[in-house]
A and B are shown apart, each in its own frame.
Chain A
Amino acid sequence: MIRFIRAFHNGVLEKELDQIPIKMRPKDGVSSRCCIYHDRAVIKYHLMNLLGVSCNEETDEAKLLAEYYREKAERQSASQAPASSDSEGNPCQHPLSVCEAACSECPGSRVVVTGNCRGCFSRPCMYACPQKAISVVDQKSTIDEDLCIKCGKCISACPFHAIVKTTVPCEEACPTSAIHKDDQGHTTIDYSKCIACGNCLAKCPFSAIMEKSQVLDVLLALKAGEKLVAVIAPSAAAQLPGTIEQLFTAVSRLGFYDVMEVALGAEETSRHEAAEFKERMAKGEKLMTTSCCSAYVEMVRKLLPSFLPHVSSTPSPMMFTAEIARREIPDCKVVFIGPCVAKRIEAQRKGVDFVLNFEELGAMLAGQGIDVISCEPWKLTRPAIPSARNYCRSCGVTKAVLEEAGDLPEGFQLDAKFIDGIDHKTLAMLKLYEAGKLPANFLEVMSCPGGCVNGPCSLRK
């Protein structure tokens, strides 16, 4: 990625794009997959995604990267707006796609007996199996796959740890079962279920899930001299070297017109959310949930629309910050920088111009040779309050809202519960809440365990 950006600044990107895969995996070098040719093919797809073209958009395999670049640059100079929100549900617009060339097509999840089986004669596995799927053949336990329901009871019963469950990392990580294998064994994403939480992106050990980037759009816009305002999520702390203030200076040196903290918007979010909570409770409502996590909102929209009335209608910190930026600098474009995939969808839907992640930001800085720890600290016009900067940690939103809510009517409490990381059970839980099994009257939902600081595109985990 650094190479890509360096080439852009030297004005040779178009010329060198198609050579990058070869230069990165030269003839006598080492390969990380089966051979350098496979590596090169995958690098090409990574570059394509960096150009803002997802794997789903590829129609002609022979098309050169330089052509994609030219198209993008022409569109930019003609200042055509990128595809608008009416394209929702179109897999080409979705930030995530599966790169078939990189996917190892992991075998489906199974329970298997390994060589550690000693063929013991008390046979705890056989007795533990509720399906009677285990028998002993040649002194070894054998599982009948037609009968096995993958409950895992035999795994815990075996005293030799001889039985294991093989998993498919992306399928295991996906909270909504949106990623799965089609009839031919190719991994595909069901975009009607995908909430863009980014878990599969973070968990695939083959890096086969790719994220459509807007880094080129931002580079081109900066080069064209557009007024871009970077709004940086609070989770940026400790992602890159130096202090947050030094990072802000570094970002402005990339050519951004101004740099703002998303925590400023978070202050607004807390204020509105606290007011909204009081109002709703006064009306006799029983439950309100937070709305700042885009993946969660996406999940409710796509999979449980009937739950939407419980989701706070308060805009997220990103949206409030964009509003502040546009108020102060009317003709600017807003670039959100954070660790999140789902924010790309929220941005697309609600009109934030571009989204970058920390890796892309780091590559932009490194590509331009900006050394963050040698930068002067940035003078914040007004530093955001600590509770707003703490939005990126689980429970932080609730704390901030509680602070803002102040005195509640007599005999009334804000009783908070948390969903700290959306997983396979979350949807079922929300359905229970909807049916009236209330956990509390205020529910904070964070798609990533621990909050945004552990976002899928976070650099330090």
Chain B
Amino acid sequence: MKKVTVEICCGTACYLLGSAKLLTLEEQLPEEWKEFVQIKALPCLNLCESAKLGAAPFVRLNQTEIMPEATMEKVLARIGKLVNRDDD
């Protein structure tokens, strides 16, 4: 399994549009993933400013990958892919 960092934007817009719910992500993680996944709640990432990136709430995975309109299901599914990836 690979390490994954999940950064949840807690800017006002993201929080209102659903990142408040994402803050319970840790409870939703399957036991076996827990030691590999690091979850952070951050102040506004300024991703909502650009219409190109999509709509709030935003989550950033592994510092680079941006997920717009994040939901618990989408984030969990993506984490699943990332912890089990076999690149490098």
Q: Are A366 and B13 in contact (CB under 8 A)?
A: yes
Asked whether A195 is an interface residue with its Cβ less than 8 Å from the other chain, the reply is no
User: B11 contacts which of A359, A371, A459 (Cβ < 8 Å)?
Assistant: A371
User: CB-CB < 8 A to A2: which residues of B?
Assistant: 13
Interface residue tally for chain A (C-beta within 8 Å): 17
Q: Which of B38-52 touch A at CB < 8 Å?
A: 43-44, 48-49
Asked whether A372 is an interface residue with its Cβ less than 8 Å from the other chain, the reply is yes
Asked whether B16 is an interface residue with its Cβ less than 8 Å from the other chain, the reply is yes
Least Cβ–Cβ distance between A59 and chain B, in angstroms: 34
Q: Which of A352-397 touch B at CB < 8 Å?
A: 359, 362-363, 365-366, 369-374
Least Cβ–Cβ distance between A371 and chain B, in angstroms: 4
Least Cβ–Cβ distance between A213 and chain B, in angstroms: 16
User: CB-CB < 8 A to A223: which residues of B?
Assistant: none
Asked whether B67 is an interface residue with its Cβ less than 8 Å from the other chain, the reply is no
User: CB-CB < 8 A to A373: which residues of B?
Assistant: 10-11, 43
Q: Are B11 and A240 in contact (CB under 8 A)?
A: no
User: B43 contacts which of A240, A359, A366, A374 (Cβ < 8 Å)?
Assistant: A374
Q: Are B16 and A370 in contact (CB under 8 A)?
A: no
A240-B16 CB under 8 A given contacts A371-B11, A373-B10: yes
Residue ID in chain B nearest A370 by CB atoms: B12
Least Cβ–Cβ distance between B52 and chain A, in angstroms: 14
Asked whether B15 is an interface residue with its Cβ less than 8 Å from the other chain, the reply is yes
| Measured CA separation A372–B48 after assembly (Å) | 15
User: CB-CB < 8 A to A363: which residues of B?
Assistant: 16
Least Cβ–Cβ distance between B24 and chain A, in angstroms: 12
Q: Which of A54-77 touch B at CB < 8 Å?
A: none
| Measured CA separation A108–B44 after assembly (Å) | 46
Least Cβ–Cβ distance between B8 and chain A, in angstroms: 11
| Measured CA separation A2–B11 after assembly (Å) | 13
Asked whether A437 is an interface residue with its Cβ less than 8 Å from the other chain, the reply is no
User: CB-CB < 8 A to A240: which residues of B?
Assistant: 12, 15-16
Least Cβ–Cβ distance between B20 and chain A, in angstroms: 7
| Measured CA separation A51–B49 after assembly (Å) | 24
Q: Are A460 and B12 in contact (CB under 8 A)?
A: no
Q: Are A374 and B16 in contact (CB under 8 A)?
A: no
Q: Are A241 and B13 in contact (CB under 8 A)?
A: no
- B 1-32 to A, binary, CB cutoff 8 A, 1 in contact else 0: 00000000011110110001000000000000
Q: Are A459 and B12 in contact (CB under 8 A)?
A: no
| Measured CA separation A184–B12 after assembly (Å) | 43
Query: Which residue of B11, B12, B20 has the most chain A CB atoms within 10 A of its CB atom?
Result: B12
User: B15 contacts which of A241, A359, A374 (Cβ < 8 Å)?
Assistant: A241
Least Cβ–Cβ distance between B87 and chain A, in angstroms: 33
User: CB-CB < 8 A to B11: which residues of A?
Assistant: 241, 366, 371, 373
| Measured CA separation A458–B6 after assembly (Å) | 28
Least Cβ–Cβ distance between A378 and chain B, in angstroms: 16
A362-B43 CB under 8 A given contacts A241-B10, A373-B10: no
Residue ID in chain B nearest A247 by CB atoms: B12
Q: Are B44 and A362 in contact (CB under 8 A)?
A: no
Q: Are B43 and A459 in contact (CB under 8 A)?
A: no
Least Cβ–Cβ distance between B23 and chain A, in angstroms: 9
| Measured CA separation A359–B12 after assembly (Å) | 11
User: CB-CB < 8 A to B43: which residues of A?
Assistant: 371, 373-374
| Measured CA separation A250–B43 after assembly (Å) | 14
User: CB-CB < 8 A to B44: which residues of A?
Assistant: 369, 371, 374
Q: Are A460 and B16 in contact (CB under 8 A)?
A: no
Residue ID in chain B nearest A362 by CB atoms: B16
| Measured CA separation A359–B16 after assembly (Å) | 8
Least Cβ–Cβ distance between A80 and chain B, in angstroms: 33
Q: Are B20 and A371 in contact (CB under 8 A)?
A: no
| Measured CA separation A250–B15 after assembly (Å) | 14
Q: Are B12 and A365 in contact (CB under 8 A)?
A: yes
Residue ID in chain B nearest A374 by CB atoms: B43
| Measured CA separation A373–B44 after assembly (Å) | 8
| Measured CA separation A363–B12 after assembly (Å) | 8
Q: Are B16 and A371 in contact (CB under 8 A)?
A: no
User: CB-CB < 8 A to B48: which residues of A?
Assistant: 366
| Measured CA separation A363–B13 after assembly (Å) | 7
Other contacts beyond A240-B12, A366-B12: 20, CB < 8 A: A240-B15, A241-B10, A241-B12, A241-B15, A241-B20, A250-B12, A362-B16, A365-B12, A366-B16, A366-B48, A369-B44, A369-B49, A371-B11, A371-B12, A371-B43, A371-B44, A373-B43, A374-B43, A374-B44, A460-B20
19 contacts between A and B (CB under 8 A): A241-B10, A241-B11, A241-B15, A362-B15, A362-B16, A363-B16, A365-B12, A366-B13, A366-B48, A369-B44, A370-B12, A371-B11, A371-B12, A371-B44, A372-B12, A373-B10, A373-B43, A459-B20, A460-B20
Seen from chain B, the residues whose Cβ lies within 8 Å of a Cβ on chain A are 10-13, 15-16, 20, 43-44, 48-49
Closest 9 CB pairs of A and B: A366-B13, A371-B44, A241-B15, A362-B16, A366-B12, A365-B12, A374-B43, A241-B10, A373-B43
